[in-house]
Amino acid sequence: MKAQARMPQQSDAIVRFDNVVKRFGEFTAVKKADFEIARGEFLAIMGSSGCGKTTTLRMLAGLEDPSEGAIYLDGEKVNGKATWDRDTPMVWQSLALFPFLTVRENVEFALKMRGVGKEERRQRAEKWLDKMQITEFASRNINQLSGGQKQRVALARALVTEPKILLLDEPLSALDAHLKVRMQAVLSNLQKDLGITFVYVTHSMSEAFSMADRVVIMSRGQIEQIGTPQEIYREPHNRFVAEFLGSANIFDGVVRGPAGADGWQVAFEGGDTILPRRELPDASVGKAVTFIVSAENMQLSRQDSGHAGIAAIVAGEEFSGGSAMVFLETAGGRELKVQKSHDALSSLDLHAGSEVVVHWAPESCHVLPGENKTT
């Protein structure tokens, strides 16, 4: 994840969505999208299929017009403005390269459409072929290239006009896992070096969180949360975001009373815990609260260790790199997830059916602000 992000300021916004709605007949694809994109920012829009992310990108590109609201590009309202007048090139999921043209001719195409002379077209195309490290393929046909090489051609073709903003619609989805990681590095470094605003649509959390300054998470046409990858991962706003990220255990509880000066005692199905007052500044007895504990912040002990917590049975493990996700089941049938290093797990000697205790520190709890209510 990126360490820092540029936050948009009113004077520094290159894009502004002002309560934008998009309907297709009776179906509302995008609901009241209201956000800004900073100049030079890498913004990722993510969500599952049908959430409205691609429709949002297409409206910015001029391929769809808003049903309500306005879109501003560099301070200018662009509703109804033709795609070719916006200077918002897009790298498509399918890449949309011309198979009957060579690599160089594909890169030159946008310049040719703009009436740029032959010699200048060639010089500018060669500059971008060099930047994308594909000069040696300039005379090849597109069908002679690998997937990664085609990606670089598509990027060169989009960037040869030197736009202020580049739109990318799931451009890495067709690549294998190893090549996808390499292309993520290419995109991230390219955006940083050029200082161009990137708006990147994806359904992949790993892509969005590894490259973007900020992430927009959408569901059913609605923006659920906007923030840096760190903010969203550590402090999801509501249950949908927490479930979408897939790395948190979600608990529904009720405040029972104070727990010292800095906490609240909260009872939930299967046990009780202490939530810091900073997470519940306006709590009262009887208040219903939803909180999460990330899988990596949960601790595991054998049942005979003397630790208090939630008793559970190991259901299975999923290995990933240097860590593993342990799936547990409580007596009440609830599933819990705990992520630990292989060394930590080997010391516990776990296997399917092992009896364990799950526990965590109060400071590892995060209350979902979009879910709180009073009973």
Longest dimension (CA), the chain: 79
Cα(114)–Cα(162) distance, integer angstroms: 13
Q: Residue 243 has which token pair? A: 């479930």
- For residues 68 and 92, which has the higher predicted lDDT (pLDDT)? 68
pLDDT computed for residue 3 by the predictor: 40
Q: What's at 367, amino acid-wise?
A: V
Identify whether residues 30 and 176 lie together within a single domain: yes
Query: Are residue 230 and residue 258 in the same domain, yes or no?
Result: no
Are 318 and 368 within one domain? no
Q: What is the pLDDT of residue 255?
A: 95
Element (H, E) at 250: strand 248-258
pLDDT of residue 307: 67
Q: Would you say residue 1 lies in a domain?
A: no
Domain match, 61 and 188 both: yes
* Total domains, the chain: 3
Interval 230-278: pLDDT, tens = 999 999 999 999 999 988 999 999 999 998 888 999 999 888 899 999 9
Which is more confidently placed, 3 or 332?
Answer: 332
Beta-carbon-side half-sphere exposure of residue 373 (alpha carbons within 13 Å): 4
Q: Which of 223, 240, 257 is the last residue of a domain?
A: 240
Residue scoring higher pLDDT (10 or 314): 314
Cβ atoms of 254 and 288 within 8 Å: the answer is: yes
CA distance 152 to 128: 10
Flag whether 4 is in a domain: no
Position 299 confidence tier, pLDDT thresholds 50, 70, 90: very high
Last residue of a domain, one of 173, 206, 240: 240
Q: What angle do CA 65, 71, 72 make, to 5 degrees?
A: 140
Q: At 306, which CATH number?
A: 2.40.50.140
- The sign of the torsion formed by the CA atoms of 111, 116, 122, 128 equals negative
Domain that holds residue 33: 10-240
2 pLDDT higher than 80 = no
Among the residue ranges 57-66, 298-307, 320-329, the one predicted with the least confidence is: 298-307
Residue 2 within a domain: no
CATH number of the domain residue 108 falls in = 3.40.50.300
**Buried b vs exposed e over 180-218: b needs ≥16 C-beta within 10 Å?**
beebbebbbebbeeeebbbbbbbeebebbbbbbbbbbbb
- Based on C-alpha coordinates, what's the Rg of the chain? 25
| Domain identity same for 133 and 257 | no
Claim to verify: residue 36 and residue 177 sit in the same structural domain: yes
Residue 5 lies in a domain: no
Q: Is 329 left (phi over 0), alpha (psi -120 to 50) or beta?
A: beta
**Is residue 142, in this structure, part of any structural domain at all?**
yes
282 in the same domain as 231: no
Whether residues 186 and 97 share a domain: the answer is yes
- How many percent of the chain have pLDDT more than 70? 95
Task: Say how many C-beta atoms besides its own lie within 10 A of residue 161's C-beta.
Answer: 15
Do 257 and 288 share a domain, yes or no?
yes
180 and 278 belong to one structural domain = no
pLDDT tens column, 176-228: 888 888 889 989 999 999 999 999 999 999 999 999 999 999 999 999 999 99
Report the distance separating Cα 371 and Cα 289, nearest Å.
7
pLDDT band at 10 (very low <50, low <70, confident <90, very high): very low
Per-residue pLDDT band for 93 (boundaries 50, 70, 90) equals confident
**Overall pTM > 0.85:** yes
- Is residue 7 over pLDDT 80? no
Tell me whether residue 182 is in a domain. Answer: yes
Question: Do 238 and 248 contact (CB within 8 A), yes or no?
Answer: no
Is there a domain that residue 79 lies in? yes
Mean pLDDT calculated for residue range 128-155: 92
Residue 126 falls inside a structural domain? yes
Calculate what percentage of the chain has a pLDDT beyond 90. Answer: 74
Separation of CA 28 from chain center: 22
119 or 261, greater pLDDT: 119
Q: Provide φ and ψ at 311, rounded to 5°.
A: -75, 140
- Same-domain status, 148 and 264: no
Name the burial class of residue 321, with classes exposed (0-12), middle (13-18) and buried (19+) by CB atoms within 10 angstroms of its CB. Answer: exposed
262-265: long-range pairs with CB below 8 Å, 24+ = 263/362
Q: Is residue 40 located within the same domain as residue 82? A: yes
In the prediction, which pLDDT does 282 show?
A: 82
73 pLDDT band, cuts 50/70/90, is very high
pLDDT at 372: 63
The domain that holds 273 is classified in CATH as 2.40.50
